[in-house]
Amino acid sequence: MTRKVILITLACSVLLAYGIWQGRLSAHSGGLRGTSFRPAIVDVGVEPPAGSRFVRSYESKINGSPARFAHYVSGLPPVRLVERFIEQHPNARRGGLGPNMITGGGCITAGYDDGSHVVGVIAFESPGGSNFFISRAPASAHARRAPAGDVPGVDAPGVPRPLNSVRLLSVQDLGGVPSVLAFYEGWGSVADNIGHYRSEMSREGWKESRSMAERMNQELDGELVAYAKGVKHCIVYFEKDPRSGKLTTAVLYREKNWLPPNKAL
């Protein structure tokens, strides 16, 4: 498991969770009637910086192993919040995974807290301070796969795998809703894989959203395709490494459209 993949995993997990949380708050206030929002209390086992306020927590799975996330708010700006977290948990930067700035004025860091767990925090700028997430998962969840084999976990249900690929990462139940984030590595061209997905997804009843993909592709190094099927949504992202020739594919699948339009993935 590369440092880049661990960071992407944490970022995607909390971005999805943050969007779902905002969507549920909107629903709770009347945006979607009949929807309940009840935080699940899960002990993440990592203390937040002093003065933080707890919002909610939930469990997910990384490569089949339990992982935990907790959402807080703070009066500190994102960079200072992450710096304070590192002061409190020095090992949270061990392994060279941060702190790193991310789009929108956010900040992220991750590392091995006690040798047996990966702990990380990601903070987003918000009025009056930050919304931030703390995650903790067994280091074994990030163990390398066996040669020529998949890591434990699952693929997205009803979604084909990339051509000639192996699974490098599987994260289930992001944001506390039915969802899968999977990373694959393989060979072949981006064009062949996009053709493969368009054919197979259409056969399974998915509808492609080309306008959404066109907007997002303007900001990406690789290429993305997006699909919807009722309350199910799926994004597939392809990026070719010009040096190794390997193709990395990320599949993000989720159910229940909690996300408001400006937070949609």
Per-domain residue ranges for the chain? 39-142, 165-263
Burial class from Cβ neighbours inside 10 Å (0-12, 13-18, 19+) for residue 50 reads exposed
Residues in a beta bridge with 126: 129
**What fold characterizes domain 39-142?**
TATA-Binding Protein (3.30.310)
Intrachain domains 39-142 and 165-263 with the same fold: yes
Contacts of 35 (CB under 8 A, 6+ apart): 24, 27, 28
Q: What pLDDT, on a 0 to 100 scale, did the predictor assign at position 97?
A: 54
Specify which of 57-66, 114-123, 222-231 reaches the highest per-range mean pLDDT: 222-231
Q: Is the pLDDT of residue 95 over 60?
A: no
Q: Is the pLDDT of residue 259 over 90?
A: no
Q: What pLDDT, on a 0 to 100 scale, did the predictor assign at position 171?
A: 83
Q: What is the dihedral of CA 256, 182, 3, 40, to 10 degrees?
A: 30
Q: Is the pLDDT of residue 145 over 70?
A: no
The answer to whether 50 and 107 are in contact (CB under 8 A) is no
**What fold characterizes domain 165-263?**
TATA-Binding Protein (3.30.310)
CA dist 111 and 94 (Å) reads 5
* pTM of the predicted protein model: 0.67
pLDDT band at 14 (very low <50, low <70, confident <90, very high): very low
